[in-house]
Structure 1
Amino acid sequence: MDTPKKIGILGGTFDPPHLGHLKLATHFAKALHLDALLLIPSGEPWQKGAGISPAEIRFQLTEAAGIDLARAFLYLKIPTEIGIDRIELDRAGPSYAIDTAKALRERFGPNVSLTWLMGADSLLNLPSWNSWDQLLSFVNFAVASRPHHALSVEMTPEIEALLKKHQCIDTDTLEKSPFGRIYLDNSLAVDLSSTELRNQLKNASRGAIASEHIPSHALEIITNLGLYK
């Protein structure tokens, strides 16, 4: 029997995509031996409120960041393929992770290992997601620790129960499971706040902040379109 393919999913508003996203993607592509990684910009990010850039612009920025990510993979000899997926942009209504997880499971079949990549803050906020308790019927979770988000301190009883039932302690178990496992990774502490970055881009030291935190191809588009001023 062939080993099931391993696909990582990194969703988000990507407003803008930044080096934190790329670090997370690179880390898990390598750690989980992913065959493919899908970057999925949300169409209508229902939890984010107003002030979000138009979906098509965010898709364009994500595509640009994908070029930098592909270069990093090449340099680090990571064989993972990268795809920028329109699944949430092409679906009408609010972008719910559960709808995306179901659609991807249907697309790739029952045996493929599908793993949703996220920071610890997303895991802590999971109970606020639509049909959150059904997600692990379709995907695994790979969770990276985040500065200022200590899981042990902030964890709700719901998340504690979820981990008790689904947590695995090694990547091997996750790779062999099509869905239903949670892997916590404490070796990567990465800050992933696009909101904070947007606020920083509004002040005088914009240029220095941007070049330090935003992949070069995405930054070129941001500069040309005059975004986040």
Structure 2
Amino acid sequence: MMHCIALLGGSFDPVHHGHVALAALFAGLLQPDQLRILPARPWQKSSLQASDSQRVEMLELAFGGQAFDVTIDLQEIERGSASYTVETLRGLRSELGDAASIVFVMGADQLQKLDTWRDWKELFELANLGVAARPGYALDQDKLPPAVASALAGRLATPAEVRDTPHGKVCLAHTLAVDISATQVRNALRADADNGSDKVTDLGALVPPQVLDYIQQHNLYKT
């Protein structure tokens, strides 16, 4: 069987239940040899509220007790410059060689913006895509930007086919029931801080308890 590496990238500011559910979904579908979590350093670096080390520590807390093995890959942070997925995948392809299956995992909201990513069409030459729909984000071809829908045509494949193909295939999963965004989490944490003990949101429904403890201990996302 072909060696398979699944990647989940993002700002993780903070990591939340949606990220964990997305990783778990594709860990189950693909049975990859390794699942790597890639905290990014976005080109709009000022938008991050937690530091690089805090984001990594929260990821370690969130994924430490999962039933699937996870590696936190720090290459985008250690690069010290803005993160671009295509550059990371070029490096990973060089590292793993032509015979490995690389699957870059994302949510449907990212797929709908894929044509705004740097050198986005090259992604298909470097990796497969694993895309999960979440409530409110459809994966139907007519709901995607025309350029993205055109790029996906002829690439759709089953998880097994994606796992055994080095690059160029796309697996669509319609079973992700979690609808959480980091913006929603930050807003809820800010509102919770403003209201003191009069909680307006069940924060435990948004982030893992150990991550919530970390956020509160370090006074993150209060402003």
Aligned partners of 1:145 and 1:190 also within 8 Å = no
Which of 65, 81, 102 in structure 2 is aligned with 1:93? 81
Q: Identify the residue that residue 76 of structure 1 maps to in structure 2.
A: none
Distance between the aligned counterparts of 1:59 and 1:218, measured in 2? 11
1:1-229 equivalent positions in 2, closer than 5 A: 3-43=1-41, 45-46=42-43, 50-68=47-65, 70=66, 73=67, 80-152=68-140, 153-168=142-157, 170-203=158-191, 204=195, 209-229=202-222
Are the aligned partners of 1:8 and 1:37 in contact in 2 as well (CA < 8 Å)?
yes
For the Cα contact (< 8 Å) 2:17–2:178, is it kept in 1?
Answer: no
Cα distance in 1 for partners of 2:190, 2:143 equals 31
Superposition TM-score, scaled by structure 1 size:
0.88
Range that drifts further, 85-94 or 151-160: 151-160
Q: What amino acid sits opposite 1:167 in the alignment?
A: L
| Matching residue's letter, 2:168 | G
Q: Deviations over 1:167-200 (max 9, x none)?
A: 22x1111111011100111122332410111011
1:208 to partner: Cα distance? 5.3
What is the rounded CA distance, in whole Å, between the counterparts of 2:120 and 2:44 in structure 1? 14
What is the alpha-carbon distance in structure 2 between the residues aligned to residue 64 and residue 207 of structure 1? Answer: 25
DSSP-derived class of the 1:130 partner = coil
Cα distance between partner residues in 1 of 2:130 and 2:20:
15
**How far apart in 1 are the matches of 2:44 and 2:180?**
16
Runs (5+) with no aligned partner, structure 2: none
**Which deviates more from structure 2 when the two are superposed, residues 18-27 or residues 217-226?**
217-226
Q: CA contact under 8 A between 1:41 and 1:59: conserved in structure 2? A: yes
Q: Give the TM-score normalised by the residue count of structure 2.
A: 0.90
Q: Kindly state the Cα deviation for residue 49 of structure 1 after the two structures are TM-superposed.
A: 5.5
Runs of 4+ with deviation above 4 angstroms: 205-208
Q: CA deviation at 1:155?
A: 1.1
Q: Deviations over 1:24-50 (max 9, x none)?
A: 11111011111211011012x125753
The whole-number CA distance in structure 1 between the counterparts of 2:95 and 2:88 is: 10
Query: What is the number of residues matched between the two proteins?
Result: 216
Alpha-carbon offset, residue 206 of structure 1:
5.4
Partners of 1:95 and 1:103 lie apart in 2 by: 12
Q: Distance in 1 between matches of 2:162 and 2:102?
A: 9
Q: What percent of counterpart residues are identical?
A: 33
Specify every segment of 5 or more residues in structure 1 that has no aligned partner in the other structure, as ranges. Answer: 74-79
